[in-house]
């Protein structure tokens, strides 16, 4: 295909497009967690199962994209980014989709219902985690657009702004996590110990979604700084 972009003309197909496709799947996985969570709150396990199936399908599609990228990434790719950085980036992205699948697996398997006192804080916390993943997707999307435009704008400045917003969301998720753990501690005597243990695990795993998204931003910062 003929292209006017000197970057793609010189180095062939950009690896950022499959990376973008991959994180779009990961972001879809994370986004499906909210309706899944709402279904668990009202004990609608049929709906929760459907959302879990959607997440599993998206995670499998993300896996296929990851494999295709790894198999087709040239060893001698002459780009302003290293092959190892690209492989690290897709590995971090992949863990977002995996974690979304794991959260639904445990919650559905155990038919976990979050205590009423924690329902809204957990809903807000989950929304922040999903927004963090979405922000990581936006950052990668912006990088792709910058490449397509032939670096017409200052890459570092644009990426710094997007990644700054990403870091802010991740810190918000951290604060929410601390608050929810404190709330759970205050009511845990009223709950079964085993349920408390898994609630702490789910809280941690939602936090990992934000952590992984922040790591995507960190990897992009490294890529654009070199």
Structural domain including 52 reads: 14-225
Structure confidence by residue, pLDDT tens digits, 197-214? 999 999 999 999 999 999
pLDDT of residue 68: 86
Mean pLDDT of the chain: 87
104 in a domain, yes or no? yes
What does the pLDDT average to over 6-33?
A: 76
d(CA 136, CA 63): 18
- Measured between alpha carbons, how far is 172 from 175 in angstroms, rounded to an integer? 5
Is the model's pLDDT at 129 over the cut of 60? yes
- Output 139 or 72, whichever has higher pLDDT: 139
Q: What would the mean pLDDT of 151-175 be, rounded to a whole number?
A: 85
- Tell me the pLDDT band of 10, cut-offs 50, 70 and 90: very low
Q: How long a stretch of residues is the chain?
A: 226
As for how many domains the chain has, the answer is 1
Question: Does residue 195 lie within any of the structural domains?
Answer: yes
Tell me if 6 is assigned to some domain. no
N-to-C CA span, the chain: 29
């Amino acid at each position: 295909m003929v292209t006017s972009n000197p970057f793609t003309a010189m180095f062939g197909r950009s690896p950022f497009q499959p990376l973008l496709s991959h994180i779009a799947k990961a972001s879809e996985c994370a986004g499906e967690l909210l309706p899944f969570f709402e279904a668990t709150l009202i004990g609608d396990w049929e709906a929760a199962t459907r959302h879990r199936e959607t997440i599993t399908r998206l995670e499998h599609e993300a896996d296929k994209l990851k494999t295709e990228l790894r198999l087709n990434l040239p060893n001698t790719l002459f780009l302003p980014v290293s092959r190892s950085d690209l492989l690290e980036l897709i590995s971090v992205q992949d863990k977002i989709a995996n974690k979304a699948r794991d959260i639904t697996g445990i919650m559905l398997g155990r038919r976990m219902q979050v205590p009423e006192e924690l329902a809204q804080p957990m809903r807000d916390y989950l929304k922040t985690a999903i927004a963090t993943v979405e922000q990581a997707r936006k950052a990668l999307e912006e990088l792709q657009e910058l490449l397509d435009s032939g670096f017409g704008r200052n890459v570092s400045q644009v990426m710094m702004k997007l990644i700054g917003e990403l870091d802010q969301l991740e810190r918000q998720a951290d604060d929410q996590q601390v608050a929810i753990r404190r709330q759970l501690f205050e009511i845990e005597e009223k709950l079964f110990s085993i349920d408390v243990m898994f609630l702490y695990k789910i809280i941690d795993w939602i936090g990992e979604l934000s952590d992984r998204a922040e790591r995507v931003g960190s990897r992009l910062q490294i890529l654009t700084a070199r």
